[in-house]
Amino acid sequence: MTQKAIFPGTFDPITSGHVDLVQRASKRFASVVVSVAGSGSKTPCFTLEERIELARAALNECPNVQGKGFEGLLVRFAHDEQAGVILRGLRTMSDFEYEFQLANMNRRLAPDVATMFLTPDEGFTSISSSLVREIARLGGDVSAFVPAVVDRALHARFGSTSSQ
C-alpha cells in the first residue's frame, strides 16, 4: 500500500455511493484524494469550496483520505498529486461506455497513470448526485442517499429535504 489514488468527480453533492467507494479504496491505497472538479461547463448547486468541505466532512473518519479541488486536466492534477491511479465508479453499463472513453484518453495523455474501476455496493447503484439534487429540490427526503452532513446542507439550500 504505497500508491496514491485520486477519485475525481464534481460531487455535487457527494452521495453515500461515493462514500462507499472511497472507504473501500482507502483500505487498498496508502492515500486517496477525493478530487473535486471545478464547475467547468456545469452549473453546480454547491460552490467548489462547499463541495470540498462536504466531501471532507463526509469522509472525516478515513485518516488517509483528503479532499482537494482542481481545475483543468485530470491527468495534470494526478501528476501534481503524484498519484499513479485514477479511481472511477461504475454503476451501470452506460457508465462503463463513457468511463472507458475517458480512461483511454487519459492513458494517451498520461501513460504512467492507470485508471481503475470500482462498483458500489448494490444498494447504491441507483443513486446519483443529479437525482439526489432533484429530489431535494422538489422537497423529497434524501437522507437515505447521502451522509447526514450533506442532507443538512441540502435542507439548508432547498429548505425541505429530510427530517434530520
What digits encode the pLDDT tens for the residues 112-147?
Answer: 999 999 998 888 888 899 999 999 999 999 999 999
Task: Give every CB contact of residue 119 below 8 A, 6+ residues apart in sequence.
Answer: 89, 90, 91, 125
Q: What pTM was estimated for this model as a whole?
A: 0.91
Residue-averaged pLDDT of the chain? 92
Can 68 be counted among the known catalytic residues? no
Cα 27 to Cα 2: distance, rounded to the nearest angstrom: 11
pLDDT band for position 32 (cuts 50, 70, 90): very high
Check residue 123 and give its pLDDT: 87
Half-sphere exposure of 115 (CA within 13 A, CB side): 21
Position 18: which residue type?
H
Can 94 be counted among the known catalytic residues? no
User: Distance between terminal CA atoms of the chain?
Assistant: 38
Using only the alpha carbons of the chain, give its radius of gyration: 15
Cα 31 to Cα 83: distance, rounded to the nearest angstrom: 9
Q: Kindly list the structural domains of the chain, giving each domain's residue range(s) and its CATH number in brackets, ordered by start.
A: 4-123 (3.40.50.620)
Catalytic residue, from 16, 26, 129, 143: name it. Answer: 129
Cα 63 to Cα 69: distance, rounded to the nearest angstrom: 18
31-37, strands of its sheet edge to edge: 65-70, 31-37, 4-9, 85-89, 114-118
Can 42 be counted among the known catalytic residues? yes
Which of 22, 27, 24, 23 shows the shortest CA–CA distance to 6? 22
Catalytic residue, from 18, 51, 88, 133: name it. Answer: 18
pLDDT band for position 2 (cuts 50, 70, 90): low
The answer to whether 104 and 48 are in contact (CB under 8 A) is no
pLDDT exceeds cutoff 90 at 78? yes
